[in-house]
């Protein structure tokens, strides 16, 4: 295609032609000027006519030069005018015996006129007019001298030659024009950018596509560029030099070139050089195709494939039938198969038939849906692996499925770890349950004999013993109580450490707790001649929500220590509000004494179980060395903290804070306070208890308080007794053979005849979850064994008050 261009350089031809036309045009005017103004010529032409013709000619020429599209027509008109003027000159010439020397000049003018008229028909018209005019003038002037005829014939011959020469030239020019138009149309419609660069490295031709590719607005802009695009890219320039040196063509070379203002673009470049006979480069033609999009797609593809190749998940691509077409290296690593072994085989053959995941997958694939789930399969080595697989269908433009992309992650290890964790959790739960059962059992087994010892001691003391016996009994009771405290502490500590000690919040009155503490420790303080002061800030709300039982335990520990380690002076309990709102009260408690104090070196370890300080003082004062360790843990369990400040010989202050919620109530109903054990007026109590000694202790107290007691050995017996006889109250042990207290309580509560009877649970176990379980079963209240007689009496009195007053009036 480009060879055609080599033969005809349309642009050059057009430019040269115009130059020639205007050059000769100028010559024509100069000739006229000479002819008309030398004065050698005699003619009668008026001056104004000559001036008009000259002016019109000049304006037409100027306009034609300036305005390109009109150029052709104006040139035709211009030379037409000159032609007519010529005829007029002939007339003058022949009529006046014009100097023959000027005939040659006239000949040139005429020839030039006819030569440069670019329209074939006009050319012919002018020719005919010229010839007719000549003949007419010759005849009219009657100047048919041999000389004039020969001049006329010469002019005619010249004109005819001029005409044919011009006609041929016009044909050739039109042909060129047509070919140029075709070529331009082709060039501008091809996808390629086409260009020609001459031997001086100047672009001499380019198509529109080329201009657009390189970011130019028009082809003309490119011709003005001093350094063609090709030399801006080092890579392309190097290949151009090779092409020139080795005289060979370049085909489809991928190079990055700089566009005008679109940044770098990637093109596919082809170059064909042309050399003259001497072997010098005349020009080279080139074509470029913009491949920037393809290049960036390739780049992306390279990135993607690198990501897939180095990924630690398995990736496979199958065709619609499930035949494997691609696997990534990790896929082969996991399965143990080589790509060659896998290609062409069906993915289904590697899956476990009947596997739940596989069946689900096949169903969703049948419905053309994306699927994600777990699949088990064997590797080449026979190892069973679990994978988390997702399968996505790939569709073509028409929406038909062409492939499947499979992404799988080996989760065998994670699965194993999960199963391991589950087993460990189950074992931990079992261990925790065993520990809980053990604690519950130990608590029960230790408290039951203690219950007997303390209960019987209390009974003996109530039966007016001799003074010497009373003294011994009191020592026995003191020791038994201490032993019980130690058992309670050890159980508490192990419960805390096992995470089994729960805080049970409920509404309570702080003043109740504090006055009970003062009562409990007041007697001992008085015995030691100590002042026991209680100071409570007025700002503290009356009813709080929290675990009052654990607060009492904390205060009991601290106050009993304070009284124990102080020989003179005072013990002060203070409570203030650190932060109080309508719903929240953070309280600060402090227990201070003027006792022996704690040496500075022992202070840091004071909250540890069996601390060095306790080892030292216990020998003198007695104690378990567990109280403060339990105290701190109990405070922390309730979201508070404790600090100590002490000076040996001067005294000690323990300060702790506990956050509580504030109840909207202003007071709580009072429990019956027991000061005198008035008779129960023969109320009927059913004591459900399997332990003989416990039965004996309870019966002794109940009878002493004038209650009628019936004993049931277990839950089942209790129910049959309740059905056959009427009772005012049930005292229910929880752990019993045959039927335990929980089951019996549930059955009683589900029986419409019995469900209103008050039940008080009696248990040697102090585990909080057992208390909750008992309340869930339906008990009204809870008493821990060994019971404190006053508490035992108080609770029975509370639940039988109505019955007693009825009996009294009866």
Residues that bind ligand ADP (CB under 6 A): 557, 561-562, 565, 593, 595-598, 606, 611, 613-614, 617-618, 623-629, 652
Q: Where are the beta strands (DSSP E) in 427-527?
A: 506-509
Smaller CB separation from ligand ADP, 569 or 659:
569
Q: Which two tokens stand for residue 583?
A: 């719903």
Q: How far apart are CA 113 and CA 75, in angstroms?
A: 10
Smaller CB separation from ligand ADP, 647 or 725:
647
Smaller CB separation from ligand ADP, 571 or 575:
571
**Shortest Cβ distance from residue 766 to ligand ADP (Å)?**
19
Smaller CB separation from ligand ADP, 451 or 653:
653
Q: Where are the beta strands (DSSP E) in 680-758?
A: 684-688, 708-712, 729-733
Smaller CB separation from ligand ADP, 403 or 574:
574
Smaller CB separation from ligand ADP, 611 or 765:
611
Pairing status of strand 584-593 against strand 641-647: unpaired
Cross-sheet strand order for the sheet of 324-327? 324-327, 314-319, 401-410, 384-395, 371-378
Cβ contacts of 67 within 8 Å, gap of 6 or more: none
**Shortest Cβ distance from residue 621 to ligand ADP (Å)?**
7
Pairing status of strand 506-509 against strand 584-593: unpaired
**Shortest Cβ distance from residue 591 to ligand ADP (Å)?**
7
Q: Which two tokens stand for residue 804?
A: 């007693």
Task: Count Cβ neighbours within 10 Å for each residue of 67-80 and write b for 16 or more, e otherwise.
Answer: eeeebeebbbbbbb
**Shortest Cβ distance from residue 712 to ligand ADP (Å)?**
40
Exposed, middle or buried, 716 (CB in 10 Å: 0-12/13-18/19+)? middle
Q: Which two tokens stand for residue 164?
A: 């044919």
**Shortest Cβ distance from residue 758 to ligand ADP (Å)?**
38
Chain center to CA of 36? 95
Q: Which two tokens stand for residue 315?
A: 């990736």
Q: How far apart are CA 301 and CA 427, in angstroms?
A: 51
**Shortest Cβ distance from residue 611 to ligand ADP (Å)?**
5
Q: Which two tokens stand for residue 307?
A: 């990501």
Smaller CB separation from ligand ADP, 286 or 595:
595
Smaller CB separation from ligand ADP, 162 or 597:
597
**Shortest Cβ distance from residue 580 to ligand ADP (Å)?**
28
Helix and strand element counts for the chain (H, E): 25, 22
Smaller CB separation from ligand ADP, 628 or 688:
628
**Shortest Cβ distance from residue 575 to ligand ADP (Å)?**
18
Smaller CB separation from ligand ADP, 630 or 686:
630
H/E stretch holding 558: helix 548-564
* Residue 684, helix vs strand vs coil: strand
H/E stretch holding 682: none
Whether 744 contacts 731, CB under 8 Å: no
Smaller CB separation from ligand ADP, 448 or 561:
561
Exposed, middle or buried, 314 (CB in 10 Å: 0-12/13-18/19+)? buried
Angstrom distances, CA of residue 488 to CA of 13, 562, 624, 626, 793: 121, 20, 11, 10, 23
Whether 467 contacts 440, CB under 8 Å: no
Smaller CB separation from ligand ADP, 233 or 557:
557
Smaller CB separation from ligand ADP, 455 or 625:
625
**Shortest Cβ distance from residue 803 to ligand ADP (Å)?**
43
Placement of tokens 């993607």 in the chain: 304
Placement of tokens 């013990």 in the chain: 571
Chain center to CA of 601? 55
Smaller CB separation from ligand ADP, 32 or 565:
565
Contacts for 43-46 with beta carbons within 8 Å, 24 or more apart? 43/89, 43/92, 43/96, 44/92, 45/88, 45/92
**Shortest Cβ distance from residue 605 to ligand ADP (Å)?**
9
Q: How far apart are CA 278 and CA 247, in angstroms?
A: 13
Q: Which two tokens stand for residue 324?
A: 């494997």
Smaller CB separation from ligand ADP, 410 or 593:
593
Smaller CB separation from ligand ADP, 529 or 539:
529
**Shortest Cβ distance from residue 491 to ligand ADP (Å)?**
15
**Shortest Cβ distance from residue 493 to ligand ADP (Å)?**
11
**Shortest Cβ distance from residue 612 to ligand ADP (Å)?**
9
Q: How far apart are CA 361 and CA 375, in angstroms?
A: 9
**Shortest Cβ distance from residue 483 to ligand ADP (Å)?**
13
Q: How far apart are CA 322 and CA 404, in angstroms?
A: 7
H/E stretch holding 672: none
**Shortest Cβ distance from residue 623 to ligand ADP (Å)?**
3
Exposed, middle or buried, 345 (CB in 10 Å: 0-12/13-18/19+)? middle
Q: Which of 514, 504, 615 is nearest to 558 (CA)?
A: 514
**Shortest Cβ distance from residue 558 to ligand ADP (Å)?**
7
**Shortest Cβ distance from residue 601 to ligand ADP (Å)?**
12
Smaller CB separation from ligand ADP, 619 or 756:
619
How many Cα atoms are found within 13 Å in the side-chain-facing hemisphere of 45?
25
**Shortest Cβ distance from residue 608 to ligand ADP (Å)?**
9
Placement of tokens 């060879």 in the chain: 3
Whether 751 contacts 438, CB under 8 Å: no
Smaller CB separation from ligand ADP, 259 or 631:
631
* Residue 55, helix vs strand vs coil: helix
């Amino acid at each position: 295609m480009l060879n055609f261009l080599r033969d005809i350089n349309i642009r050059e031809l057009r430019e040269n032609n115009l130059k020639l036309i205007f050059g000769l045009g100028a010559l024509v005017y100069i000739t006229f000027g000479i002819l008309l103004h030398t004065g050698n010529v005699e003619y009668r032409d008026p001056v104004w006519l000559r001036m008009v013709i000259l002016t019109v000619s000049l304006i037409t020429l100027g306009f034609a030069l300036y305005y390109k599209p009109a150029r052709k027509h104006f040139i035709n008109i211009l030379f037409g005018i000159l032609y007519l003027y010529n005829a007029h000159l002939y007339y003058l010439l022949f009529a006046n015996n014009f100097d023959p020397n000027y005939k040659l000049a006239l000949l040139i003018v005429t020839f030039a006129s006819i030569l440069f008229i670019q329209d074939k028909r006009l050319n012919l018209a002018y020719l005919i007019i010229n010839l007719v005019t000549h003949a007419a003038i010759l005849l009219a002037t009657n100047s048919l001298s041999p000389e004039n005829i020969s001049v006329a014939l010469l002019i005619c011959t010249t004109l005819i030659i001029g005409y044919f020469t011009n006609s041929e030239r016009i044909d050739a020019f039109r042909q060129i024009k047509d070919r140029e138009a075709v070529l331009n149309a082709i060039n501008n419609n091809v996808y390629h950018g086409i260009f020609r660069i001459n031997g001086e490295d100047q672009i001499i031709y380019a198509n529109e596509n080329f201009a657009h590719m390189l970011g130019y607005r028009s082809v003309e802009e490119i011709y003005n560029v001093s350094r063609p695009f090709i030399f801006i890219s080092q890579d392309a320039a190097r290949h151009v030099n090779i092409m020139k040196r080795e005289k060979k063509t370049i085909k489809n070379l991928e190079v990055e070139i700089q566009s005008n203002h679109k940044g770098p673009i990637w093109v596919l470049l082809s170059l064909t050089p042309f050399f003259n006979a001497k072997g010098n480069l005349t020009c080279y033609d080139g074509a470029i195709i913009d491949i920037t999009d393809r290049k960036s797609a390739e780049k992306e593809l390279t990135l993607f494939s690198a990501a897939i190749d180095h990924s630690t998940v398995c990736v496979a691509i199958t065709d619609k039938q499930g035949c494997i077409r691609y696997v990534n290296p990790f896929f082969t690593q996991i399965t143990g198969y080589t790509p060659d072994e896998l290609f062409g085989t069906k993915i289904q053959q590697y899956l476990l038939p009947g596997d739940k995941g596989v069946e689900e997958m096949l169903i969703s694939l049948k419905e053309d849906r994306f699927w994600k789930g777990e699949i088990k399969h064997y590797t080449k080595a026979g190892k069973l692996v679990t994978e988390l697989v997702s399968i996505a269908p790939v569709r073509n433009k028409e929406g038909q499925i062409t492939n499947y992309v499979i992404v799988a992650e080996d989760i065998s290890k994670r699965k194993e770890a999960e199963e391991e964790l589950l087993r460990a959790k189950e074992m931990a739960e079992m261990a925790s349950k065993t520990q809980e059962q053990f604690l519950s059992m130990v608590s029960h087994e230790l408290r039951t004999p203690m219950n007997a010892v303390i209960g019987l001691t209390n009974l003996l003391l109530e039966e007016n013993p001799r003074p010497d016996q009373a003294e011994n009994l009191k020592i026995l009771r003191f020791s038994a109580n201490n032993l019980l405290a130690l058992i309670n502490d050890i159980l508490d500590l192990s419960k805390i450490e096992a995470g089994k000690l729960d805080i049970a919040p409920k509404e309570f009155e702080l003043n109740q707790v504090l006055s009970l503490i003062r009562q409990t420790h007041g007697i001992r303080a008085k015995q030691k001649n100590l002042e026991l002061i209680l100071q409570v800030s007025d700002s503290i709300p009356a009813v709080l929500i929290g675990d009052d039982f654990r607060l009492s335990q904390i205060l009991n520990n601290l106050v009993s220590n304070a009284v124990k380690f102080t020989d003179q002076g005072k013990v002060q309990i203070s409570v203030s509000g650190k932060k109080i709102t309508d719903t929240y009260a953070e309280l600060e408690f402090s227990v201070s004494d003027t006792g022996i104090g704690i040496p500075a070196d022992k202070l840091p370890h004071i909250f540890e179980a069996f601390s060095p300080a306790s080892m030292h003082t216990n020998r003198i004062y007695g104690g378990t060395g567990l109280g403060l360790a339990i105290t701190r843990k109990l405070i922390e369990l309730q979201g508070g903290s404790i600090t100590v400040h002490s000076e040996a010989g001067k005294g000690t202050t323990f300060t702790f804070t506990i956050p509580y919620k504030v109840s909207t109530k202003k007071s709580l109903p009072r429990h019956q306070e027991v000061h005198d054990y008035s008779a129960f007026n023969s109320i009927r109590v059913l004591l459900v208890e399997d332990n003989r000694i416990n039965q004996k202790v309870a019966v002794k107290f109940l009878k002493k308080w004038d209650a009628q007691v019936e004993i049931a050995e277990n839950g089942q017996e209790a129910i049959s007794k309740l059905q056959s006889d009427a009772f005012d109250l049930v005292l229910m042990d929880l752990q019993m053979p045959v039927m335990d207290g929980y089951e019996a309580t549930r059955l009683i509560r589900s029986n419409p005849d019995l469900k209103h009877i008050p039940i008080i649970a009696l248990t040697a176990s102090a585990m909080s979850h057992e208390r909750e379980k008992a309340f869930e079963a339906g008990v009204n209240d809870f008493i821990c064994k060994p019971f404190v007689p006053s508490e035992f009496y108080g609770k029975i009195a509370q639940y039988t008050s109505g019955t007693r007053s009825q009996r009294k009036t009866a």
